[in-house]
Every structure is written in structure tokens, then in C-alpha cells.
Amino acid sequence: MIIAVDGTAASGKGTLAKALAAELGLAHLDTGALYRACGLTLMLEGADPSSVDEHAAEIAAKNLDFSLTKDARIRTAEAGEMASVVAAMPEVRAALLEGQRRFAYSVTPELKDGLRKGLRGAILDGRDIGTVVLPDADYKFFVDADVDIRAHRRWKELINHGSEAMLPAIMEDLVKRDERDRSRQHAPLKPADNAILVDTTEKSVEEMVRFALKAIGRQPLPGKS
């Protein structure tokens, strides 16, 4: 089983993907972390988001240190801004594309729960999983929420990671990122034609997980969701 989860920043797509992976016994890849790690690499080299060299970004993507995807610094607002910039570069997306596909089609996690025995596969979340990376995914979701709700979620996330954050600045950044992601020429952010739309504006984590499981004909595990 291959599941693609796309959506806007701070919409809850990563939370949904992680929860579904746990429920269904699937491997999970947060592809946004790859772009954030690439952005962090460039930041550590002294690059500025307003003038990123495309060749340098391509090299950073091709030689990406995957341990950086676990680095807390990729969750800062600065790394997020840099990630949005490099994600608009076709060379960077091409450099990371094959690795994402290999993960989806080669990972076969061992399932520990008998209720999910027999399932194999992966779930990836990002901006273009259902449209570009995994167009043949078995199920596709597109997650979104009102921008004010997303801004508050991102603010809480940054505070929890120990970063200073101002809600108005976060709101402005999200609006800019939405526009940049949706208008980029290569792999723009948009729902796949057959994607299941998930509006998380008024949904709790448990509610959106139940919604997604019902959409693919599954029931939550006892004691979960």
C-alpha cells in the first residue's frame, strides 16, 4: 500500500501521515525534512534566501547529509523559508526525486500488529507526492486549513522547539509560502485529480485520522484514534 499526503504548510499533513503510518504499519517519510535539510546545509554555508545560487543548491541536494533531517535546526522559521526557496528549483527537486521513490517502493516494514498483518508499503507527505513523486499511489490525500489556524499551529510548533516567534510574522510568511508553492513553474502545490480533500480547520488529530481511515475503508486500531 502506497499513500501520498500533500498539503499546505502547518495544515497537519505530517501529523496525519505519521498517525496513518502507525495505524497501518507503513514506513513514513517526511519529504519536507529533505528540503529543510538542504536549506539548512546552504544556511550553514552562509547562503541567503534572497540570493540562493541554484548550482550550489543542486550540489547540496545531491550530497545531502540525511542525518540533518533529524537536526532540530531544520524546524526553525529560517530553515523553513530557505526550504521553500530551494523547493522551487527544478534541479533540487530532481536530485531528491529518485530517493523518495526508492523509499516508497523498496521499504517493506515488518508489521508487529496482527490486525494489520499482510500490509506492506509506505506513506510520504510533502507538496507534490500525489502529483509528481508518486502519481500511481493507491490513496492520495490533500490537507489544508484556514491560514490563521495554520499560523497558530506553526507558532506553537516553533515555541515548543525553543524558537522565538511572532504570530503576525508567521502569518505573513505562510501567505508568502502558499503563493510561492502554488505558483512555482515546476511541481506546483495543488491537489491531485483523485485526491481526497481533508480540511483540518476544525478537526482534532483524532478526527482527521478517523476521517482518513474511513476514506480508505479501514478502522482505527483498538485504543487508538
CA distance 74 to 202: 28
User: How much is the CA Rg of the chain, to the nearest whole Å?
Assistant: 17
pLDDT at 96: 95
pLDDT at 77: 82
CA distance 184 to 131: 14
CA distance 46 to 174: 24
pLDDT at 113: 44
Q: Quick one: cell of 168?
A: 503576525
Cross-sheet strand order for the sheet of 122-126: 27-30, 122-126, 2-7, 139-144, 196-199
Question: Which amino acid would we find at residue 167?
Answer: L
Give me the half-sphere count of Cα atoms (radius 13 Å) on the Cβ side of residue 91. Answer: 12
Polymer length in residues for the chain:
225
* Residue ranges, the chain, pLDDT below 70: 107-120, 220-225
CB 92 within 8 A of CB 5: no
Domains recognised in the chain with CATH numbers: 2-215 (3.40.50.300)
What would you measure as the largest C-alpha separation in the chain, in angstroms?
52
pLDDT at 114: 40
* Residue owning grid cell 526557496: 85
Encode burial over 92-125: b for 16+ CB neighbours within 10 A, e otherwise.
Answer: bbebbbeebeebbeeeeeeeeeeeeeeeebbbbb
CA distance 61 to 64: 5
Give me the half-sphere count of Cα atoms (radius 13 Å) on the Cβ side of residue 2. Answer: 16
pTM: 0.85
pLDDT at 222: 61
> Please, where are the H alpha helices in the chain?
13-24, 31-44, 54-62, 77-87, 90-106, 147-160, 167-183, 205-215
pLDDT digits (tens, 9 = 90+) for 172-212: 999 998 998 999 888 999 999 999 999 999 999 999 999 99
Phi, psi for residue 192 in degrees, rounded to 5: -65, 155
